[in-house]
Amino acid sequence: MKSDLSLNPLPSAPPEIGRGEFILNVDGLVTRLNNGARIVDDISFSIKQGETFALLGESGCGKSMTALSLMRLLPDGIRIASGDIKLDEEDILALPEYAMRKVRGGQMAMIFQEPGLSLNPVMTVGDQIAEALKLHQKLRGDEIRPRCVELLEQVGISDAFRRANEYPFQLSGGMKQRVMIAMALAGQPKLLIADEPTTALDVTIQAQVLKLLRDTQQKTGMALLLITHDLGVVAQMAHQVGVMYAGQIIEQAPREQLFARPAHPYTQKLFAALPDAGRSGQPLAAIPGNVPPLGASLAACRFAPRCDKAWALCHDQVPEWTQLENGQGVRCHLYTSQIGSDKLNLNVPLSPGSSTASGEVAGEEGSDSSLLQVENLQVHFPIHKGILKRTVGHVKAVDGVSMNIPAGRTLALVGESGCGKTTVGKALLQLITPTAGSVRFAGHELIGISARQLRKQRAGMQMIFQDPYASLNPKMRVAEILQEGMDALSIANNSDERQRRIDELLEQVGLEKASKWRYPHEFSGGQRQRIAIARVLAVNPNLLICDEPTSALDVSVQAQILNLLKSLQQQLGLSYLFISHNLAVVEYLAHEVYVMYLGRIVERGTVKEVLHAPKHPYTQALLSAVPRIDGQGMKTVRLAGETPSPSNPPQGCHFHTRCAHAMAECHKEYPGETIITATHRVHCYLAAE
Amino acid sequence: MKQAAHVSIPFYAQNERFSVLNVGVSNMPVILWTDAMIFLLLATILAAALWIRKRPHLVLPWHRVAKGSVGMVSLLLLSLFVLVGLLDTMHYRAALPEKSNGQTVYSAEVLSVFDALAKGIKSRSEKTYSAPLAAYLYAKESMETPDGKILRDYPRLRYGGVHLADPQRELLGDVLKRTVIGALEGLIIGVLLIAVSNMLFHFFIKLRTGRLSTVPEISKDNWIFTFTRAMKNRPFRALLITALLIAMLFGMTINLAAVYHVLGTDKVGQDVLYLALKSIRTGLVIGTVTTLVMLPFALLLGIAAGYLRGWVDDVIQYLYTVLSSIPSVLLIAAAVLMMQVYIEMHPEWFETSAARADLRLLFLCLILGVTSWTGLCRLLRGETLKLRELEYIQAAQAFGVSTSRILTRHIVPNVMHIVLIAVVMDFSSLVLAEAVLSYVGVGVDPSTMSFGTLINSARLEMGREPMVWWTLAAAFGFMLVLVLAANLFADAVRDAFDPRLNRTEAVA
């Protein structure tokens, strides 16, 4: 990985803006809980005018708390203990609250992760922007409305005059985030803090919003503090990067250098933990363990327990901040002591061996017998209207999906949110009754059979859910959770056998036996996902439907779970239907990929065919929208607009409204299937030619 | 029934207030309907406690309750109220001295153990209002002086402060003296009780450790050590201080109540302290029995509506919308009046007036229960609607877990916090509802003492000059302490059961 990157200097760098004076200086910032635990611990950084500084880190590292400290908006019970924050030579921490109100939104603005929650649902968008204008620009009366419209146009909202009179619920997620940005821009801030601005958005929308942020920065010359956990976003946006771990910045460097030569073992591991096709043969370099909880002991290097290069010194002494010659700063003993530099020179390879060769070795066998056959599956939800609740139309969530999963293989279903991926999963499990079609599992038809017959088939097919915090009942202990499926499906009849089975399962997913008497809230997200996996394994399934099982997890933990899924597949010969929007994960784990758009499969084929030689413009757009850490995407295909509503899909090809290559015939009729190779099929007139 | 003849009881009867218990052998126990309900509830709680004791993971949250000072102090207060309520629940009919045909004849008056204990203050009725700790009546009367003149002045009370020769001068000193003596007595008895229980506890600990292992610290092994070790425990300290304070309060009250009316007297001269203490049982019965009636309706219908959706949801929603759009006072009044007429047409059903009053109380609870489930039901339906979309419910569905099992294992435990809060909140509003209904005339039987009737009788006197404030103050004070203790205890229980609030401990 490392050598790879240094060979390819980043081609698509973010635009270099005339960077000027330092706008923001943070020096030795410490933010504590009232009980003394340090949430943000001695953080120093500066941002120049027109520069983007990215704070990168996993959840619980104190990124957001750093941002809230800058705004002085910390929640109750948390306060700034010491340090210095200077915005344009003005000491933020010394300002009285009334002056601070002018700074917030005026000189320093912030946008948040969830645009749906940051807008007031009972005020029109225009009124909300006007509020900011009145406060910070001292505009009055007639001046306000034109400026509002101007701002909305600036953030790329078409028909801005009409949109200004609309309420947030009338806008889509991407548009809400644009409105948030417009509001932030209303005060003409010198510094914009963006706290995970695109995490809640689809990749295509994410690409639009990131581009908007870059363009705006170019126009206004404001500084941008970007908080994110996504290395890809950092690669696209940042000039400077600070890597945070457990409340400290452990490495800081210009982006090019960080990506070329990550210095800190944690940063190196983060890069190594990213899944991609190159590694689909071997396990990912997962970082063992979890991010330490807040207020853990601070006597040593915080990363030492998870670091494979740690030695005695790391466990006794806090490493000092070391400035390397090339402008990179790092907080690691490797760079301060003699033993460290010896170790460095050994240069342990980061990812095992060269990786390109061993692509498709595992799981090649056993692909002949078909485990699950789906023919023309349809799920339509009726739309009721009026007093009599008459059906006036249908939401065609899934509209004729066919698929075929062989035993021991992984089929990935990708697409943007709202395209019906999850509905397919639930319909296969009969959690949602399909409207039409056929689902044959291990030779048995599942649609239309009685509840009792269905129960016999239940054990074979199980589901792993997206959110490990919502998928475990908080009032049940782990043993009870694991036992539930066994009880319901009468597996392992006496209680001794069950307890033995539970121990076995916990071991299989890498948890201690003792954890079976605990409640789910005592576990971290990754551990909870392990419990969820153990729960479904308890009934010996053949097919697991994984509904975005890692999207709620941190990169390092995601690697652990992906490794676990992969090794379980090898040990138990499981098949997976892997529902995901994360193409890198899909590339790593899957054998076959189905791309879904508005309830229909638009392209299918093997991983190589679909992800490396996509034929459908939608697949191409999806792939190019994914921010890559190596910066080498396909030729940029930007998607305009957003997914249309499935209750009223466009005439003809569903995609033609957003497609750059749309032709006359695309408006008329849905394109039929074009067979490219034995496995690669696509629904597009372009490919048919 | 309490207006029993009292004139004949001589003043020295106060010293014999415990004597009634000795007659107990020949008394006939009476179990009224609400008594039965309370005993049933008690038995259920005991059975649940025994069941939980054997399951360590269920005992754990209760250990956490025991570690909180507020929870334990409110539990102590609450258990005092419950104790009074329980004493007042054990009813009997006293045997009369004369026999007919060799058979014992029982008095028509149903007494409770509490009545027997509080016979002193129960029987010493004045003519009308008197202020707390007063020696004179609250109203002027025309009196004939020994020399034949008619004088209009405040007469001396029949019982309150009779032992004083000149109350004008002596009253304050006497009250202070009795207060201090009472407080000291209470303190001494409290300390003695604590010492004795500590020694018993120490003995118990020694017995257990002696059996389990050899104790290395024999030199320190005395009861003082056990005590100092326990004192390091914060909730124990808080509990101890509260217990001593309560003991002092008891000492004072008992000492003063022997010769004064501590909380004054009401319009017909009854001691307000006695009335307030008797009201506790009515309050507890209305609070608990009504909840018991309401809970199954709210829980079953609310969860069924939220989880099953469809026509079940429609039917249940129509039901509670209709029910809650009828003014509840009207509905209750209609039901109570019908029941009242029915009861009055069948006087032969009841041996005693107490049985009739009690049945009326029970029906009031039932009616209140049937009309008050809608609010909680709506809350539970909403919460269930939210829960049923959660992934753990879908995971259970994917396992083919049956609907009833999903409801009991997944939904009910996750809505219990709402139930607990709603029940405690309802407890106070139910006690108040009883007061309102008593005012309209459809509440408890006029002969049943309750906070409602107390407040209702005080209401008229608030406008009078000089104001009669003590009845209302007594009802207010007792209700406040009762409801507050219940609220705080429920809070402590809810916190202890919330797994999210107890991370660190459970890991250990």
ipTM: 0.79
**pLDDT tier, A341 (very low <50, low <70, confident <90, very high otherwise):** low
Closest CA to A663 of A595, A598, A617: A617
Q: Has residue B360 been placed in a domain?
A: yes
Residues contacting residue B372 through CB under 8 Å, at least 6 positions apart: B290, B294, B328, B426, B430, B433
Q: Does A499 score more than 80 pLDDT?
A: yes
Pick from A429, A467, A476: CB nearest B391: A467
Cα torsion angle, B32, B34, B38, B44, sign: positive
Alpha carbon A674 to its chain's center:
32
Closest CA to A56 of A673, A683, A629: A629
- Inter-CA distances, A282 with A231, A286, B303, Å: 21, 12, 48
Q: Tell me which chain A residues have a C-beta less than 8 angstroms from the C-beta of B60.
A: none
Q: Has residue A590 been placed in a domain?
A: yes
Two tokens, residue B446: 């006029």
Mean pLDDT of A69-73: 91
Pick from A463, A466, A488: CB nearest B400: A488
Considering its fold, how many domains does chain B have in total?
A: 1
Pick from B391, B413, B507: CB nearest A471: B391
Q: Does B428 score more than 80 pLDDT?
A: no
Q: Report the distance separating Cα B62 and Cα B45, nearest Å.
A: 14
Quote the pLDDT of residue A320: 83
Question: By a Cβ cutoff of 8 Å, what residues of chain B touch chain A?
Answer: 57, 390-392, 394-402, 405, 409-410, 413-414, 499-500, 503, 506-507
Quote the pLDDT of residue A489: 84
Quote the pLDDT of residue B23: 45
Q: Does B36 score more than 70 pLDDT?
A: yes
Helix B353-371 × helix B328-345 angle, to 10°? 150
CB contact under 8 A, B399 and A465: no
Mean pLDDT of B43-48: 91
Interchain contact A94–B (C-beta under 8 A): no
Mean pLDDT of B337-364: 86
Which ranges constitute the DSSP H helices of A229-301? 231-237, 255-260, 265-273
Quote the pLDDT of residue B106: 83
**pLDDT tier, B212 (very low <50, low <70, confident <90, very high otherwise):** low
**pLDDT tier, A295 (very low <50, low <70, confident <90, very high otherwise):** low
Q: Has residue A411 been placed in a domain?
A: yes
B380 within 8 A of B302, measured Cβ to Cβ: yes
Residues B478-503 have pLDDT tens digits of 988 988 898 888 888 888 877 666 54
Mean pLDDT of B119-141: 84
**pLDDT tier, B377 (very low <50, low <70, confident <90, very high otherwise):** very high
Pick from B398, B410, B500: CB nearest A431: B398
Quote the pLDDT of residue A576: 94
**pLDDT tier, B84 (very low <50, low <70, confident <90, very high otherwise):** very high
Query: What 3-state class would DSSP assign to A640?
Result: coil
User: Minimum mean pLDDT among A441-445, A485-489, B179-183, B424-428: which range?
Assistant: B424-428
Q: Tell me which chain B residues have a C-beta less than 8 angstroms from the C-beta of A473.
A: 392, 409-410, 413-414
Q: Has residue A63 been placed in a domain?
A: no
Quote the pLDDT of residue A45: 92
Closest CA to A556 of A225, A305, A205, A209: A305
Q: Tell me which chain A residues have a C-beta less than 8 angstroms from the C-beta of B403.
A: none
Considering its fold, how many domains does chain A have in total?
A: 3
Q: Do A295 and A175 lie in a common domain?
A: no
CB contact under 8 A, B409 and A472: no
Count of CB atoms within 10 A of residue B346's CB?
A: 9
Q: Does B504 score more than 50 pLDDT?
A: no
Q: Report the distance separating Cα B28 and Cα B5, nearest Å.
A: 21
Quote the pLDDT of residue A294: 66
Quote the pLDDT of residue A52: 93
Mean pLDDT of A326-352: 68
Optimal mutation site among A473, A512, A579, interface B, most CBs of chain B within 10 A: A473
**pLDDT tier, A227 (very low <50, low <70, confident <90, very high otherwise):** very high
Two tokens, residue A671: 């394109």
Q: Report the distance separating Cα A129 and Cα A113, nearest Å.
A: 18
CB contact under 8 A, B395 and A471: yes
Optimal mutation site among B387, B388, B391, interface A, most CBs of chain A within 10 A: B391
CB contact under 8 A, A458 and B399: yes
Average pLDDT, chain B: 82
Residues A85-126 have pLDDT tens digits of 998 888 989 999 999 988 888 889 999 888 878 889 899 999
Distance from the A486 Cα atom to the nearest Cα atom in chain B, whole angstroms: 8
Q: Which CATH number is B283's domain given?
A: 1.10.3720.10
Q: Has residue B463 been placed in a domain?
A: yes
Q: Which CATH number is A549's domain given?
A: 3.40.50.300
Q: Tell me which chain B residues have a C-beta less than 8 angstroms from the C-beta of A536.
A: 395
Q: Does A198 score more than 90 pLDDT?
A: no
Q: Has residue B384 been placed in a domain?
A: yes
Q: Does A531 score more than 90 pLDDT?
A: yes
Q: Does B312 score more than 70 pLDDT?
A: yes
pLDDT higher at B497 or B287: B287
The whole domain housing B433 covers 272-507
Quote the pLDDT of residue B4: 41
Q: Does A411 score more than 90 pLDDT?
A: yes
Q: Has residue B355 been placed in a domain?
A: yes
Interchain contact A431–B (C-beta under 8 A): yes
Quote the pLDDT of residue A631: 55
Single out the residue in A181, A207, A226 at which a domain terminates.
A181
Q: Do A553 and A627 lie in a common domain?
A: yes
CB contact under 8 A, A474 and B500: yes
Distance from the A683 Cα atom to the nearest Cα atom in chain B, whole angstroms: 33
Optimal mutation site among B57, B392, B505, interface A, most CBs of chain A within 10 A: B392
How many CA atoms does the CB half-sphere of A41 hold within 13 Å? 23
Q: Report the distance separating Cα B257 and Cα A533, nearest Å.
A: 69
Q: Tell me which chain B residues have a C-beta less than 8 angstroms from the C-beta of A521.
A: 499-500, 503
Query: What 3-state class would DSSP assign to A86?
Result: strand
Two tokens, residue A137: 């620009």
Residues contacting residue B252 through CB under 8 Å, at least 6 positions apart: B178, B179, B182, B183, B186
Residues contacting residue B225 through CB under 8 Å, at least 6 positions apart: none
**pLDDT tier, B83 (very low <50, low <70, confident <90, very high otherwise):** very high
Count of CB atoms within 10 A of residue A14's CB?
A: 20
Q: Report the distance separating Cα B51 and Cα A621, nearest Å.
A: 62
Task: Enumerate residues 470 to 509 of chain A having a beta carbon within 8 A of any beta carbon in chain B.
Answer: 470-477, 484-485, 487-489
Mean pLDDT of A467-476: 87
pLDDT higher at B348 or A357: B348
Interchain contact A670–B (C-beta under 8 A): no
Q: Has residue A94 been placed in a domain?
A: no
Minimal Cα distance from A425: which residue of B?
A: B398
Q: Tell me which chain B residues have a C-beta less than 8 angstroms from the C-beta of A489.
A: 399-400
Helix B353-371 × helix B272-308 angle, to 10°? 30
CB contact under 8 A, B391 and A470: yes
User: Minimum mean pLDDT among A294-303, A419-428, A547-556: which range?
Assistant: A294-303
Residues contacting residue A140 through CB under 8 Å, at least 6 positions apart: A134
Q: Has residue B230 been placed in a domain?
A: no
Optimal mutation site among A384, A422, A469, A475, interface B, most CBs of chain B within 10 A: A475
Pick from B390, B397, B413: CB nearest A431: B397
**pLDDT tier, A6 (very low <50, low <70, confident <90, very high otherwise):** very low
Q: Has residue B450 been placed in a domain?
A: yes
Distance from the B399 Cα atom to the nearest Cα atom in chain A, whole angstroms: 5
pLDDT higher at A350 or A277: A277
The whole domain housing A340 covers 272-346
Task: Enumerate residues 270 to 329 of chain A having a beta carbon within 8 A of any beta carbon in chain B.
Answer: none
Q: Tell me which chain A residues have a C-beta less than 8 angstroms from the C-beta of B500.
A: 474, 521
Quote the pLDDT of residue B10: 40
Q: What secondary structure does DSSP assign to B271-291, as a single string? A: BHHHHHHHHHHHHHHHHHHHH
Count of CB atoms within 10 A of residue A650's CB?
A: 16
Q: What secondary structure does DSSP assign to B452-487, as a single string? A: HHHHHHHHHHTTSSS---HHHHHHHHHHHHHHHHHH
pLDDT higher at B22 or A689: A689
Q: Has residue B35 been placed in a domain?
A: no
Give the rounded percent of residues in chain B with a pLDDT score beyond 70. Answer: 89
Quote the pLDDT of residue A340: 64
CB contact under 8 A, A484 and B507: no
Q: Do A611 and A575 lie in a common domain?
A: yes
Q: Has residue B318 been placed in a domain?
A: yes
Distance from the B13 Cα atom to the nearest Cα atom in chain A, whole angstroms: 58
Q: Report the distance separating Cα A662 and Cα A640, nearest Å.
A: 13
CB contact under 8 A, A535 and B395: yes
Mean pLDDT of B28-54: 88
Residues A251-269 have pLDDT tens digits of 999 988 888 888 888 888 8
CB contact under 8 A, A522 and B503: yes
CB contact under 8 A, B499 and A474: yes
Q: Do A305 and A391 lie in a common domain?
A: no
Residues A555-576 have pLDDT tens digits of 878 888 999 999 999 999 999 9
CB contact under 8 A, B391 and A522: no
Residues B228-245 have pLDDT tens digits of 777 777 788 888 889 999
Q: Does A492 score more than 80 pLDDT?
A: no
**What is the maximum alpha-carbon separation in chain A?**
81
User: Minimum mean pLDDT among A400-404, A604-608, B207-211: which range?
Assistant: B207-211
Residues A419-458 have pLDDT tens digits of 888 899 999 998 888 999 999 998 888 888 888 888 888 8
CB contact under 8 A, B392 and A519: no
CB contact under 8 A, B409 and A476: yes
Quote the pLDDT of residue B451: 86
Mean pLDDT of B101-124: 84
Mean pLDDT of A566-593: 90
Q: Does B6 score more than 60 pLDDT?
A: no
Strand-pair partners of A52: A224
Quote the pLDDT of residue A240: 92
Minimal Cα distance from A459: which residue of B?
A: B399
Quote the pLDDT of residue B321: 92
Minimal Cα distance from A533: which residue of B?
A: B395
pLDDT higher at B93 or B301: B301
Distance from the A357 Cα atom to the nearest Cα atom in chain B, whole angstroms: 39
Interchain contact A555–B (C-beta under 8 A): no
A379 within 8 A of A558, measured Cβ to Cβ: no
Minimal Cα distance from B413: which residue of A?
A: A475
Count of CB atoms within 10 A of residue B65's CB?
A: 18
Strands annotated E in A72-217:
78-87, 90-91, 108-111, 191-195
B362 within 8 A of B445, measured Cβ to Cβ: no
